[in-house]
Amino acid sequence: MQDYVHSEWTNGLDASPFIFPMGLLFPPLLFVKSLFRFEEQTGSSSMDQQTTSDSKEPLDPAEVIVKEASPLKKLEQVYSSPRAKYNLNLLSYMALTIYATYTAIYHIGPAPFSIYEVILYVLLVALSFDDLMLVFRLWCRYGRYLARFFFSLPLVWIEVLSSLLIIICICLRIALGPDSLTVNGFIAALGKSTIAMLPLRPKHVP
């Protein structure tokens, strides 16, 4: 069972947890066999398959042919795995946190809005609406049938409150303009909300 879960999580790719994110950022590393090991696919020639199907005899292990996937197939196998989606999601949150910290320290102040601040607002609003849509999809799929259980999930309240907090802070910042208290409050709320929205849950709902 553990091997099956590991295979589904990695999609047949075995790699160190420290090396795997580097392979996602630098795809040529994925083809270094000493770092990344793909599960081998076995098969046989068409003649062997026809003979085996006609005689209905088990295939001799010596006649098994190891098929190596093409580079494009390997890339698709890597980036479609749940492990890759989680790591990319985590890296995107880390990059957004670093950019938000840089913008809050150097580009948010009593002066008019800078381009860095505008970009940050657009990213945060898009992220907030994406999380609210996640909660809405969960409600449409499960919540309306299990309402009490749905509203007891901490995930629901964390997603909704952190997203609304970010949107309210941005609206106050735009409405009040160059107010130092608003700036300080926005930076504090931004830090709390960013931490609360760390990707500790799956991003997609089937």
Distance CA 143, CA 151 (A): 8
C-alpha distances out from residue 50 to 41, 57, 61, 150, 177, Å: 19, 11, 16, 54, 76
Q: Which of 12-26, 49-63, 78-92, 108-122 has the lowest mean pLDDT?
A: 49-63
Give the global pTM.
Answer: 0.61
- Using the CB atoms, write b or e for 24-47: b if 16+ within 10 Å: beeeeebeeeeebebeeeeebeee
Rounded percentage of the chain residues whose pLDDT exceeds 70: 65
Q: Using one digit for the tens of pLDDT, what is the confidence trace for 151-202?
A: 787 777 877 887 787 788 778 777 776 665 556 666 666 665 555 555 444 4
How many other C-beta atoms can be found within 10 angstroms of the C-beta atom of residue 192? 12
Q: For residue 62, what pLDDT is reported? A: 46
Distance CA 134, CA 147 (A): 16
